[in-house]
Structure 1
Amino acid sequence: SAFYSFAAKHMITRSKSRISEKDSSDMDLSSFVAALTSALQDSQVRACLSDIVGESFRQELISLKAELKQKDSVIKHLDRRIESLESQNDALEQYTRRNSIRVTGLPEVEHEDILDRTLKIVNEDLEVNPPISIMDIDRVHRVGRRNPDRPRSVIVKFSTYRARQSVMKMKKNIKARLPSTFLYEDLTKERSTFLYKARQMKR
């Protein structure tokens, strides 16, 4: 600012006047340093220097704050974009599972024919009508690592959404035949976690 420019010039002028009191042509380095040190003892000179340094620091701080604010805005924008993409990806993944169901609690049998067991459950235990045929099932398999204390879940992917819905509509019938076995929608990991937390909050 004009004030600090004037102050700087005033300080230099005062320093020169202090130094000029000696014969500058004969002044060696040590004498120059001594004269400058003496000038800096002046309270007004020190005040000017303090103000100049303080103003410079303040301007630098303002500049850094503006830069950080801009970067923070960019980061927030990227966070929102990532959240949006993750949501879209989750919705797309869930759509690919729309023809599938997850069966939990079904005891594992060594060398089991999981397709045959699935057809028996939906047609005999659930009493789905019209019956589900082998052509209505795209694929069926267990998921996860083997656990001697708990049977692995079974994923059943039907050929059509209609076949899947005909099974889900009758899932309540499984309680009488297989009370420890349950049928659920095949949810994504994110939605499954959200559902689990919601159930925990209700307890």
Structure 2
Amino acid sequence: MPNNNPITVDQLKSILDQFFNEKFGFLENILLKNKQLKEKIQILEERMDSIESYSRRNNIIVHGVPRQENENPLELALEICKTTGTEIESYEIDEAHRMPSRNREISPPFIIKLTNRFKKAEIMKNYKKKKITAEIWKGNSNNRIFFNDHLTKKKQEIFKKAKILWDNYLIWTREGTK
């Protein structure tokens, strides 16, 4: 004999809730675990960026240095630093090399890793006082030579955003004074 008792909405809701919890209840755990893993990845990325920044703090990237035949990276680094007016010895340079580049038309940047940050600060200070061109440096080009800190990708992005904001601020203040 068929059951003629009608099912109430609350009973149907209860049956459907039980069904979905049995069949798809595991999804809540997966979503929670996914959220936890995303948070952990963000923390690890921040720690990695901090470690990279720390390892690069004694580095200087030099752009615009013409490529030379049979260049010796250590001698070139000493020459570049001395051009700024900084006295430096070879033991104060930990490492020096060109960065890899696919563009053969321009000289790739040159990295100088110094043994201490005080020498780096001195070189950067002297560089800012003295505008160095490749012509002054080697007598064969008129290009400017630029010294920069060796920033991580994340710090470069922050720096670019800050520069854009600063440039916009300068434009806004100039327009406001007209």
Is the pair's TM-score, using the shorter chain for normalization, greater than 0.5? yes
Q: Is the 8 A contact 1:174 1:182 kept in 2?
A: no
Q: Distance in 1 between matches of 2:42 and 2:162?
A: 21
* Structure 1 residues 198 and 151: alpha-carbon distance in aligned structure 2, compared to 1, 3 A threshold: farther
Partner SS state of residue 102, structure 1: strand
Aligned amino acid, residue 158 of structure 1: L
Amino acid at match of 1:181: I
Q: Secondary structure at the match of 1:183?
A: strand
Unaligned runs of at least 5 residues, structure 2: 135-142, 169-178
Match of 1:183 in 2: 147
TM-score, length-scaled by structure 2: 0.72
SS at match of 2:31: helix
Match of 1:138?
A: 94
Structure 1 segment 97-136 matched on structure 2, within 5 A: 97-123=56-82, 125-128=83-86, 131-136=87-92
Contact 1:174 1:181 in 2 (8 A): no
Which residue, out of 107, 123, 139, partners 1:151?
Answer: 107
Q: CA deviation at 1:90?
A: 1.3
User: 2 CA distance for matches of 1:120 and 1:148?
Assistant: 23
Aligned length: 159
> Percent same amino acid at aligned positions?
26
Contact 1:137 1:158 in 2 (8 A): yes
Task: Write out per-residue CA displacement over residues 148-178 of structure 1, whole angstroms, 9 at most, x where no aligned residue.
Answer: 2221111101122222221112121452434
RMSD value, Cα: 2.9
The one-letter amino acid of 2:84's match is: L
Q: Residues 80-102 of structure 1: CA distance to partner in whole angstroms, max 9, x if unpaired?
A: 11111111111112111122111
Alignment map for 1:37-116 (pairs within 5 Å): 44=4, 47-48=6-7, 55-62=14-21, 67-116=26-75
Quote how far apart the aligned CAs of 1:132 are.
0.8
Q: Distance in 2 between matches of 1:84 and 1:64?
A: 33
| Cα deviation digits, residues 5-51 of structure 1 (max 9, x gap) | xxxxxxxxx42xxxxxxxxxxxxxxxxxxxxxxx8xxxx46x44998
Instruction: Report the structure number with the largest CA radius of gyration.
Output: 1
Q: Which has the higher helix share?
A: 1
In structure 1, C-alpha distance between the alignment counterparts of 2:11 and 2:127, rounded to whole Å: 80
| CA distance in structure 2 between the aligned counterparts of 1:90 and 1:104, rounded to whole angstroms | 23
- Tell me the TM-score normalised to structure 1 length: 0.64
